[in-house]
Structure 1
């Protein structure tokens, strides 16, 4: 029997916007993944399965023990980690008994869970967290440590079903690997929403949400991509066939209309020698026949066009971003940035420089100070000592993509950063970021995840003065496959220097990064790739 099952789920937002029409499926033992475009409803489905949202209709059968860890973990920073793991009372009871207090209340709290602390320490260790984590407050932990603590709490509960939303976001390579190993090793069923290839390479099945429906593919990411490639090839062939049919039906209609016109002229000439009543009768009959046959050809043409539309919808081809960015060009010997004995707010000393259009990945463990370094370069944080010499205009794409004013349209967001550019030029440039026509008039607050990425990219890359140093902080977090491809396409056309914080090795490779700045306890190490 499946660990969790659901049938005929429907769900709409309070404003009536539909999310799912009729979703049916089951989660079996092992590690499986849920993928789909940004905004398609992956997180919503997890919340429905976890019981945090109620479906409009349909049924969900849950096991007795189910745990859910959302994408943005929100733990009380003042709470101790053992309380966040649900262990505070048990630990206190065990300490009381060990000190000689034999009050029955302590034994009631402990029950059979005398090894709770040892199991918790083992779970924390499996996720790369030290045993003393239990005695720290949540506020002392980094973002990555907090994510792992929430996951440790879920694993410690030994649920039959574990639901996770993007569990490897913001984790460095080693931490992500430890989390993944723990998920693969655990018994029970685990469903993760993820676009992290490291995760998708280890799953036994992938569920794809698409246009309000769910379908499953056996195997890991390679099998999924092979299946999609086959479907895409068939869909493209269907588009070509449908286009050919439209052209043929159009030719046949035109040929018939032109032939009917010639026949009408011949008939008119013959009618001159006929009695008027007979001539009029033949004319009416010819008009009826012409209308019927023409209508038949027009119906065939309309059917062919509908088939073409269905074929193009099925193909669902992702359009490409292609935009010229000549103003971002940086000459090879131009000094871009120099950090001289710059002591960050974290206490780390950094000495490094960039010359020309170099592409650098800023690496290091969670909490090493990577985002602090970016904010110091931008001038948001002052160094404790040393200097930051920034010599070119800079653009910044933060993790949360919060560079857009939600009250403004896409066009107005770009114009706010490029006041000297005409509205026509802005719209022309936005069309290359796939915001064509009325799409540019959408409010930023109403954009989907993928649209928000493209709008944020446009706002940063089309700014005036054009950015000749671009800072990217975990830009692929939460991106679906199409949005990730759009990001890479836009960066291929960028001609300036670039510093990117990313734990996505495939993304870094596709960017053709040349150097690594490794942040560590002893400072920054600069090495070539």
Structure 2
């Protein structure tokens, strides 16, 4: 690469097919510095990434690019007959190389291959470095897991020779080991890099963070830690402005009331004096008219002043409204048994190796972080604990009400409204009280009636938590399978807040060490090559 890579937005706006405007007049310049793009779900990050990469045209404006851009979408969907080489984007080059080596080259093969005479070896090396030594160029892509598909697509991104990589949630479906490997690969990437992500470890490895919001794009220097500190400071300052605006509103409202009372007293004295004065009727009329005019002007001025004060308070409140802390209504803690669940000599289905067998007791109040590489059986264990899967052998005993929140939040019916679902499982509590509890979770009237499937990821997680805990028999054992996987940073923070307030027994699987730390675990249950291992949680050794 002989020139500095860049992507530049000039007046870029985009509207959805239904006419909804996602963003307007965006101006930004992305250069060689690795950049993370963040923002709440639904704000338009993926659309903007596609526009930057050139796979989607903006409604208006233009994008300048220094050279080829490789775009990695959030969802990797292989074609029915696609191979690993095809998914990596090097099938055409390998076919050209094979024809040249066989002595039957076709016109254009040299251009397809370029200088990449070692393409076959390069693909093998990067697959091996990505933990995919068990596949080769001809392996059908449909045989791969979600994490393996992502790793193959990333391998293609690094092999493509692009000026700029635009990656949309590249660490989704990757376990901790492969997330760390991705971060290291991106550190070594010599070209431009823009990553759409909610992965805090990945974001911390980048040079700068750019946030997309309703007001446009804003750049923050540093990685996620700097971004989070700055946002926290801004929120504190916004809350301070709100408090000061409310106090000023009260003071000036009192002063306006005093002005009105003084004006009313003057008018009353004027009427008294006029009634006792020996003035001609025409003079009395003029005096009365002047008084009414003055009184009318004062009322108009006071109304304008009150509206101005109210607007200041509304603007200050709007600055903090989206960042208000989520409050989980804590159901009365049931005493219950000390042992809430037990697996006795259980053989887990769909597994081979050391993690196929497990013996485990869960105690009241334990908070367990469930960790381990993909394929070790974490999801299977949670499904057996929840009763969704039967063990092949042994015994699974549950002594308390249990709720299971998988990545798809299948606890929720996507075709029914949140309030309707909650009322169906809690007939004892009035609708007004249920609405109040949902409001504390950030679910207002606009989120209660529409089908749950139409809500954002963060809203659906809050609704699922409500259904788990606000029923007549609230869950005392909460099982979570990567609930943070598709949440934006704001929604993840809200989920962490909710789970910290939960005082039952908790088992949570996640590849995000920041998320697990935030839950204040008591224990770590690791699925490893030697089997299952339960140890006290030590954040420093995560």
Q: Name the TM-score, length of structure 1 as normaliser.
A: 0.92
**Deviation by residue 1:173-223 (Cα, 9 ceiling, x = unmatched):** 211010011111111111011121211211111101111400112222233
Instruction: Answer whether contact 2:348 2:381 (CA < 8 A) is retained.
Output: no
Q: CA deviation at 1:111?
A: 5.0
Instruction: Answer whether contact 1:345 1:383 (CA < 8 A) is retained.
Output: no
Matched, 1:166 2:169: yes
Summarize the alignment of residues 475-486 of structure 1 with structure 2, pairs less than 5 Å apart: 475-486=483-494
SS of 1:524 mapped into structure 2: strand
Q: CA deviation at 1:523?
A: 2.9
Q: How far apart, CA to CA, are the structure 2 residues paired with 1:39 and 1:402? A: 21
- 381-390 vs 509-518, greater mean Cα deviation: 381-390
Q: Structure 1 residues 21 and 233 mapped into 2: Cα distance closer, same or farther (>3 Å)?
A: same
Q: How far apart, CA to CA, are the structure 1 residues paired with 2:256 and 2:183? A: 61
Instruction: Answer whether contact 2:88 2:154 (CA < 8 A) is retained.
Output: no
Q: Structure 1 residues 46 and 307 mapped into 2: Cα distance closer, same or farther (>3 Å)?
A: same
Q: How far apart, CA to CA, are the structure 2 residues paired with 1:425 and 1:290? A: 46
Matched, 1:396 2:397: no
Matched, 1:18 2:21: yes
Q: CA deviation at 1:68?
A: 1.1
- How many residues are paired up? 527
Question: Residue 474 of structure 1 corresponds to which residue in structure 2?
Answer: 482
Question: Residue 372 of structure 2 corresponds to which residue in structure 1?
Answer: 364
Match for residue 462 of structure 2 among 454, 468, 478: 454
> Unmatched 5+ residue regions in structure 2?
538-542
Q: How far apart, CA to CA, are the structure 1 residues paired with 2:229 and 2:332? A: 40
Question: Residue 152 of structure 1 corresponds to which residue in structure 2?
Answer: 155
SS of 2:162 mapped into structure 1: coil
Q: CA deviation at 1:438?
A: 4.9
Summarize the alignment of residues 211-360 of structure 1 with structure 2, pairs less than 5 Å apart: 211-272=214-275, 273=277, 274-316=279-321, 318-327=323-332, 329=334, 331=336, 333-347=338-352, 348-360=356-368
Question: Residue 6 of structure 2 corresponds to which residue in structure 1?
Answer: 3
Q: Structure 1 residues 209 and 189 mapped into 2: Cα distance closer, same or farther (>3 Å)?
A: same
Q: How far apart, CA to CA, are the structure 2 residues paired with 1:230 and 1:335? A: 41
Q: How far apart, CA to CA, are the structure 2 residues paired with 1:259 and 1:287? A: 15
Q: How far apart, CA to CA, are the structure 1 residues paired with 2:85 and 2:425? A: 47
Q: How far apart, CA to CA, are the structure 2 residues paired with 1:22 and 1:92? A: 44
CA RMSD of aligned residues (A): 2.4
> Unmatched 5+ residue regions in structure 1?
none
SS of 1:105 mapped into structure 2: coil
Match for residue 119 of structure 1 among 114, 122, 125: 122
Q: Structure 1 residues 134 and 114 mapped into 2: Cα distance closer, same or farther (>3 Å)?
A: same
- 482-491 vs 326-335, greater mean Cα deviation: 326-335
Instruction: Answer whether contact 2:71 2:166 (CA < 8 A) is retained.
Output: yes
Q: How far apart, CA to CA, are the structure 2 residues paired with 1:520 and 1:344? A: 17
SS of 2:132 mapped into structure 1: coil
**Deviation by residue 1:304-330 (Cα, 9 ceiling, x = unmatched):** 221222222234452222233335645
Q: CA deviation at 1:249?
A: 2.7
Q: CA deviation at 1:432?
A: 2.0
Instruction: Answer whether contact 1:6 1:59 (CA < 8 A) is retained.
Output: yes
Q: How far apart, CA to CA, are the structure 2 residues paired with 1:86 and 1:430? A: 47
Question: Residue 540 of structure 2 corresponds to which residue in structure 1?
Answer: none
**Deviation by residue 1:434-490 (Cα, 9 ceiling, x = unmatched):** 223454234323322322222222122223421121111112223223212211221
Q: Structure 1 residues 417 and 28 mapped into 2: Cα distance closer, same or farther (>3 Å)?
A: farther
Instruction: Answer whether contact 1:336 1:355 (CA < 8 A) is retained.
Output: yes
Q: Name the TM-score, length of structure 2 as normaliser.
A: 0.90
